[in-house]
Amino acid sequence: MSNEPMADEPMADPAVRVGGAQEIAPDLLVIPNHRVGLVPNIGVIGGTQAVLVIETGIGTANAEQVLALASEVAKGRRLYLTTTHFHPEHAFGAQVFAGQATYLVNRAQADDLKTKGPGYLEMFRGLGESIARRLDGVRVPTPDVVYDDGYDLDLGGRTVRLRPTGRGHTKGDQVVEVPDAGVLFTGDLAETGQFAIFPWFPPYDTDVSGVRWLAVMDRLAATGPRVVVPGHGDLGGPQVLADVRDYLRELRDETWRRRDSAMGQAEIVAEVRALLIERHPEWVGQEWIEPGVGCLCAEHAA
């Protein structure tokens, strides 16, 4: 999920542009999102025997383009698909890969797809005509392989590590590590150039956890990857992880400091929002500050 779902203005068509794919390491492509809302950064990772695709884009038309590129890259090698979490622009094109690729995810993400997928499909269809058109005929996907503690995928001469992180941005986040290339795909645990996305929608979805997300970022920042591929925004180095960690800590501390002083939540939101926008005036996604404060207020009270 990128910053636009809560915005009031019409959204740009979330079209994946496969022609802009960039090779960031041998046999490792990233299709950048070019900072278009509801377009994720997408990975295509090859070994001698197989190719792994990370994310589908939203809807079947985008996924068909991603599959076509991956098939061209694979040149007969076996195809796999994974997604970093269940949100529609990351996973709601997976039906296109059925029969062409093996779709594998962590168990918590599979649970999210089953229990929350239908509701998110309807919510996203209400975000505007271009989104609804992209989601026409889309079905919530069912993974072929579900793993528990982690999955080492042997592509032939290259092993890719799929690792669930526990609750953070969602209940079912996973990161994808390419150790030989020093590349880490984070999904929406990390973005660049925007405020962290808090899908805090009580009473319908309250699985995002600012406290646990911060702990996840502490662990990821300690791994020191060469290249970080965020869910949305520009690729970067390990500083991307540190920046998100520092922002989450900042959001927590400023929220809890005011919560301790017995301020009302509306006043807390107003003060924290103004402070963070002043500190990060170039960031987009200001609408995600309020749900972040709401989430952390609830966690403070727990």
Q: How far apart are CA 211 and CA 93, in angstroms?
A: 31
Residue 279: is its pLDDT beyond 50? yes
Q: How far apart are CA 233 and CA 297, in angstroms?
A: 28
How would residue 3 be classed by pLDDT, with cut points 50, 70 and 90? Answer: very low
Cβ atoms of 229 and 223 within 8 Å: the answer is: no
Cβ atoms of 54 and 93 within 8 Å: the answer is: no
- Listed range (120-124, 262-266, 290-294) with the worst mean pLDDT: 262-266
Residue 138: is its pLDDT beyond 80? yes
Cβ atoms of 268 and 255 within 8 Å: the answer is: yes
- Listed range (8-12, 84-88, 116-120, 130-134) with the worst mean pLDDT: 8-12
Determine what percent of the chain is predicted with pLDDT higher than 70. 97
DSSP sequence for 15-48:
---GGG-EEEETTEEEE--TT-TT---EEEEE-S
How would residue 248 be classed by pLDDT, with cut points 50, 70 and 90? Answer: very high
How would residue 263 be classed by pLDDT, with cut points 50, 70 and 90? Answer: confident
Residue 106: is its pLDDT beyond 80? yes
> Tens digit of pLDDT for each residue in 208-235?
999 999 999 999 999 999 999 999 999 9
Rounded mean pLDDT of the chain? 95
Residue 9: is its pLDDT beyond 60? no
Whole-prediction pTM value? Answer: 0.95
> Which string of b and e fits 242-272 if b means at least 16 CB within 10 Å?
bbbbebbeebbebbbebbeeeeeeeebbebb
* Structural domains of the chain sorted by starting position, each given as residue range(s) with its CATH number in brackets: 4-301 (3.60.15.10)
> Tens digit of pLDDT for each residue in 37-59?
999 999 999 999 999 999 999 99
> Tens digit of pLDDT for each residue in 285-295?
999 999 999 99
Residue 151: is its pLDDT beyond 80? yes
> Tens digit of pLDDT for each residue in 174-192?
999 999 999 999 999 999 9
Query: What was the pLDDT predicted at 274?
Result: 98
